[in-house]
Amino acid sequence: MKLAELLKGEDVGRIEGDAAVEITGLSYDSRETRDGHLFFALARDEERNRAYIKDALNRGARAVAVRRWDGGTARPAAAIVQCERPRLLMGAVAARFFNYPSERVDLIGITGTSGKTTTTYLLASIFEAAGLGAGIIGTIGIFIRGRKIYHGLTTPESLDFESALAQMESAGVRHVAAEVSSIGLAEGRVDALNFRACLFTNFGRDHLDYHVTLDDYFAAKLRLFAEILPRSRRKETVAVARGDEPYGRRVLESSIGRRVSFGLARSLDVYPQEFRADLSGIHGVMVALGKKIGFDSPLVGEFNLLNILGASALSVALGIDADAVAEGVRRCPGAPGRMEVVPSRPGVTVLVDYAHKPDALEAVLRAVRPLTSGRIICVFGCGGDRDPGKRPIMGEIAGRLADLPMLTSDNPRSEDPLAIIAQVEKGLIAAGLERLDAPSAGARGYVIEPDRRTAIAAALGSAVAGDVVIIAGKGHEDYQLVGDRVLHFDDREVVRAVAAQLGGGQC
């Protein structure tokens, strides 16, 4: 398309150069720029932006979109597009370049503090059970009918998002479940998308290193329902949220179109009539918009009941048959690293979970407590260069709800791991736990072991039949970020290796 066609009707300051130049592709990473591309300069740092623009031009960019051009008289042969928000412009241009795939693909947006990834997997499983090709966009990657095509941001940049939707449409996929993060919403990555339905899981503390306050964090999430969904070009849009908690009610009150509530209260549109949860999963009967649906899920923990209810509510609202909902829930093993059962020693249950924020850690520990005949041993830590205020909070939660917290490292990044641990330990002390030199069978207290591999090995070595070991924080991640290094580290691999050394087998 010609540059002028791509920019038609968009808010741009001015164009220097030939607006009739033919654009053959789009890029925002200069390393991916090819001859004929329109390059979007998104870096906040001006010096880096200049370097990236220079690299993109050397690779053949025919046009550059940038907030401010300071090249003076040295303007290159490429056209320069000046605009206040290049990232927003990129979303609008990408939608046009790929011919608006979200106008034809049923795009489902899921936001909330926890449960987004599991909900996308549940929805995809339900769609597949209904005979509908499904795609997933989220933390673990972008998948087309189970084939991974991308790994990066939870909510990709708009260019990657639109490109993925176009690929999905070409592959015959018509239903896509996508995680929509608060940062992605704040940066406008999904502003040009046309959502068919959106679901709000829950709300708790997270990303305060970015949003600063909880009000800002919630306001970012609310944009999906109050601003973006209402301007969708799709007919009969649907907003789904918990109706038995205040943030969910605010989401429903701010939405237009069809609104569907779910939760534990029988006054809601979707609720469990009866259920039981154990280490084998969750089993019961739900009432979904007047339909009774029996369900058997391998997912562990009562909080996953809410993920099942939310995914079922949205599916039934979109017209999916009740039998397909039940079958999709039954088939779904959950997302990698989300309450994932890893075989270990006989009689000991090991769960690996992504819980790296206060509410998620509390939900996991509370869910496991009634399922445990022995102790809860919890290996956890807090990431570096992220909201330090949550560290003592997570320590207090672990100290209050676990019998043997094992405090260790979790992606310390540029910070001193011992300094992070000292901040978390304040919460363990506040919970009244005694520090132990080392864990042992039946012991209660807390242990500090900065080396994560050693901490996992010590937790498994001290576990006895009936104990549950929860390894929290990293989930599906297969790396540890230490300084500027990315070291291979997968909690699940470590558990299997330690279990083999201890002579453990299938639980």
Band (pLDDT 50/70/90 cuts) for residue 505 is very low
Share of the chain above pLDDT 70, in %: 97
Residue 208 reports pLDDT greater than 70: no
What ranges make up the beta strands (E) of 243-335? Answer: 258-262, 270-278, 281-288, 291-297
CATH number belonging to the domain at 3-85, selected among 3.40.225.10, 3.40.50.20, 3.40.1390.10, 3.40.640.10 = 3.40.1390.10
> What CATH code would you report for 98-264+306-313?
3.40.1190.10
Band (pLDDT 50/70/90 cuts) for residue 205 is low
Q: Where are the alpha helices (DSSP H) in 322-435?
A: 322-331, 358-368, 390-401, 417-430
Residue 196 reports pLDDT greater than 80: yes
Distances (CA, A) of 33 to 71, 89, 383, 400: 20, 17, 33, 52
Q: Domain ranges in the chain?
A: 3-85, 98-264+306-313, 340-502
pLDDT at position 77: 83
pLDDT at position 71: 63
pLDDT at position 465: 95
Terminal Cα-to-Cα distance of the chain (whole angstroms): 58
Pairing of strands 134-138, 175-179: parallel
Residue 207 reports pLDDT greater than 80: no
pLDDT at position 149: 86
pLDDT at position 220: 94
Residue whose structure tokens are 């009432």? 287
Residue 204 reports pLDDT greater than 90: no
Band (pLDDT 50/70/90 cuts) for residue 504 is low
Write the pLDDT tens digit of every residue in 423-478.
Answer: 999 999 999 999 999 999 999 999 999 999 999 999 999 999 999 999 999 999 99
Residue 73 reports pLDDT greater than 50: no
Write the pLDDT tens digit of every residue in 132-165.
Answer: 999 999 999 999 988 898 778 889 999 999 999 9
Residue whose structure tokens are 């000292």? 422
pLDDT at position 75: 59
Write the pLDDT tens digit of every residue in 36-61.
Answer: 999 999 998 889 999 999 999 999 99
pTM, two decimal places? 0.92
Average pLDDT, rounded, for the chain: 94
Write the pLDDT tens digit of every residue in 161-185.
Answer: 999 999 999 999 999 999 999 999 9
Distances (CA, A) of 182 to 88, 112, 195, 327: 16, 8, 16, 31
Residue among 49, 35, 48, 55 at smallest CA distance from 86: 49
What is the topology classification, in CATH, of domain 340-502? Protein-Tyrosine Phosphatase; Chain A (3.90.190)
Radius of gyration of the chain measured on its C-alpha atoms: 24
| Mean local confidence (pLDDT), 368-390 | 96
DSSP helix/strand/coil, 119: helix
